Amino acid sequence: MKPREFEFIYSKEGEELDDFFLAAGYDEIMATTSPFGRKSLVRMRELECGIKYIRIHNLFTGPEGDHRGEVDAGCNPLNRDEKGTLQFNWTNIDRVYDVLITSGYIPYIELGFMPDVLSSASIKTRNRWSYPPKDYDEWGTLVKQFVSHIKNRYSYVFSQFIFELWNEPDVHYFKGRPKEYNKLYDTTVAAFYDVLPNGNFKIGGPAVATRMFPHFKKFLTHCLYEKNYSTGETGNKLDFISFHLKGGLNFQKPKMKRILRRLKGYIRIIDKFKKDGKIARKHNNKAYLPDDIELHITELDPMVGCARGVIDNAKFRFRDTEYYSAYIGYTYTMLHQYRTLFKDNISLVFSDFLHFADEAMKGRIFAGCRSPTTAPFHSTKLEQSLQETRIIVKPVLKGFQLINKMRGRLLQQAHLEKCITSHVNAICTYENNMLYLLISNFNDQFNDTHLIEVSIKVHNLPNNYSTAEIHPLIVNKYTNNTYSTWQSIGRPLELSESQLSAIQRKEKLLFSDKVTHIIQKNTLTLKTTLHPHSLHFYHIFLN
């Protein structure tokens, strides 16, 4: 089979690399303050995964959570006294943000869900958290008091906070109509202006999830052209547009084509609201989205089923393996190329891998749960979760570790449009006399067994470089892989000290032996063989 070829052109005018992909999210907000939550967040920082922003559900939800009770319990910041007066308690929220910030992360604050005392649903209704407020003014009061509190408590970092209203209001997370979500958004923004009249805050939405776009279009139309429910004026502040991308639904296989197709669908809608777009023209271009409007993918997930594992469906095994790390590296590369090719400002992407699922309750160490380590969260298992013999970092973090090693500016790449749709892909950057190269082989098929030959060429290197010292880092089934190491020693539930040590050595990235290549006619050529679902990173010194 002919090798897959990738060509890059060395130039000092490339686009500066940013950390748009280094963000993560999860459901269980109170797990943040558990011993396991703290340990997982610190461990990600120690392993230099580069995660910057953290987005979490259930900020305002009560102890019932959004589906699963205790494990999903919210911060419950609002109640009423005997006279019906609103009473605020920020204790749990403070504990959560204290952990995040002291661990080196920035909160990306998802404003939701509805506190029980504000819900418009009858008292006997299930999932009262998903309904609009009975009194929008009281919702505004909650937001105003919350913003004022965190502004004062976290004044040294508050300017970096980003705010998003709700999560997936187009599905079961919001039982109201689109116009009720729009009213909720207007009320929320007005509350922010009460605290920050200069408008020095970043807020957006609508964090939609489905391929049907009416809710999405109605929200954008409202923010640009309709009467604001709070101010009576036309339109509202919209600093970014958020949406979700899911690869596999209802236990299907992850499909990158679906993710790419859904991304293009959202952007087609957004383009209609830009200057001279179909909808902007309809309104005589009186208002329109800026060409560089920020796009936030606030959930990127290869397969829906956040609380499930291999006991529920064998397909979830991929969450334990090199398949997941390859997916992370591949989507990072593909979205970088998409931004370069189509000039869309995808400025933040949240990978939905940081689920605090209870692997131990499923009877095994690696249980296919959407979690960064194998430790359990369930409150009755906290003591067990802290036993070092049960905590192993999963391969998914390897994808972020490699991405975080990329530096500098992007090199120009030939045939970008073709690269985006190929399951083998590459990205290359430069800084000073160094190149950083990431190659990914990600096939949607779980049982892919094909080896892929790859040829990389970097053209137009300066004349003063004659050799390249290449330091390879490889993640595949056989290398830098905690799961396969655990498999090789018999899948024990209880690990001896030597077994644990053997596995934990794979948590850090171990370079392979360096090699030296001759640069011929200002071109560096590198050839390699990729195993299925693998990542190859090369730190290259030009001499």
Q: How far apart are CA 75 and CA 92, in angstroms?
A: 5
Residue 229 lies in a domain: yes
Task: List the 424-431 sheet strands across, edge first.
Answer: 409-410, 424-431, 434-441, 534-542, 467-475, 515-518
Q: What is the pLDDT of residue 281?
A: 97
Is the same domain home to 193 and 105? yes
Q: What is the pLDDT of residue 382?
A: 47
Residue 401 lies in a domain: no
Q: What is the pLDDT of residue 366?
A: 84
Is the same domain home to 330 and 453? no
Q: Which structural domain range is residue 458 located in?
A: 4-11+409-542
Question: CATH no. for residue 320?
Answer: 3.20.20.80
Sign of the alpha-carbon torsion through 204, 208, 214, 215: negative
Is the same domain home to 380 and 439? no
Is the same domain home to 328 and 418? no
Is the same domain home to 352 and 415? no
Residue 394 lies in a domain: no
Which residue carries 């970014």 as its tokens? 240
Which residue carries 């236990």 as its tokens? 251
Q: How far apart are CA 223 and CA 228, in angstroms?
A: 8
Is the same domain home to 337 and 485? no
Per-state percent for the chain, helix, strand, coil, to nearest 5:
35, 25, 45
Per run of 10 residues, the mean pLDDT along the chain (length 543 residues) is 90 90 92 83 92 96 74 89 96 97 97 96 93 98 98 98 97 95 98 98 95 88 98 98 87 81 95 97 96 97 80 86 95 95 96 68 71 64 52 92 96 89 94 97 88 96 96 96 94 84 90 95 96 97 97
Residue 251 lies in a domain: yes
Give Cα separations from 26 to 53, 283, 356 (angstroms): 12, 39, 7
Question: CATH no. for residue 482?
Answer: 2.60.40.1500
Is the same domain home to 364 and 415? no
Is the same domain home to 355 and 237? yes
Q: What is the pLDDT of residue 379?
A: 41
Q: What is the pLDDT of residue 1?
A: 66
Q: How far apart are CA 520 and CA 412, in angstroms?
A: 19
Q: How far apart are CA 320 and CA 300, in angstroms?
A: 17
Q: E strands within 209-330? A: 240-246, 294-301
Beta bridge partners of 533: none
Q: Which residues contact 498 (CB under 8 A, 6 or more apart)?
A: none
Is the same domain home to 325 and 215? yes
Burial status of residue 197 (CB atoms within 10 A of its CB: 0-12, 13-18, 19 or more): exposed
Q: What is the pLDDT of residue 250?
A: 62
Q: What is the pLDDT of residue 530?
A: 96
Phi, psi of 301, rounded to the nearest 5 degrees: -135, 125
Is the same domain home to 525 and 489? yes
Is the same domain home to 333 and 420? no
Residue 398 lies in a domain: no
Residue-wise DSSP of 419-437: HHT-SEEEEEEEETTEEEE
The last residue of one of the domains, among 354, 389, 424, is 389
Task: Give 486-494's long-range contacts (Cβ < 8 A, gap of 24+).
Answer: 486/365, 486/366, 486/392, 491/364, 491/365, 491/366, 493/364, 493/365, 494/389
The last residue of one of the domains, among 338, 357, 389, is 389
Residue 216 lies in a domain: yes
Q: Which of 385, 389, 327, 383 is nearest to 358 (CA)?
A: 385
Is the same domain home to 305 and 159? yes
Q: How far apart are CA 485 and CA 321, in angstroms?
A: 11
Whether residue 240 contacts residue 295, with contact meaning beta carbons closer than 8 Å, is answered with yes
The last residue of one of the domains, among 355, 389, 423, is 389
Residue 400 lies in a domain: no
The torsion region of residue 50 among left (phi > 0), alpha (psi -120 to 50) and beta comes to left
Structurally, the chain folds into a number of domains equal to 2
Q: What is the pLDDT of residue 380?
A: 47
The SS3 of residue 301 is strand
Residue 273 lies in a domain: yes
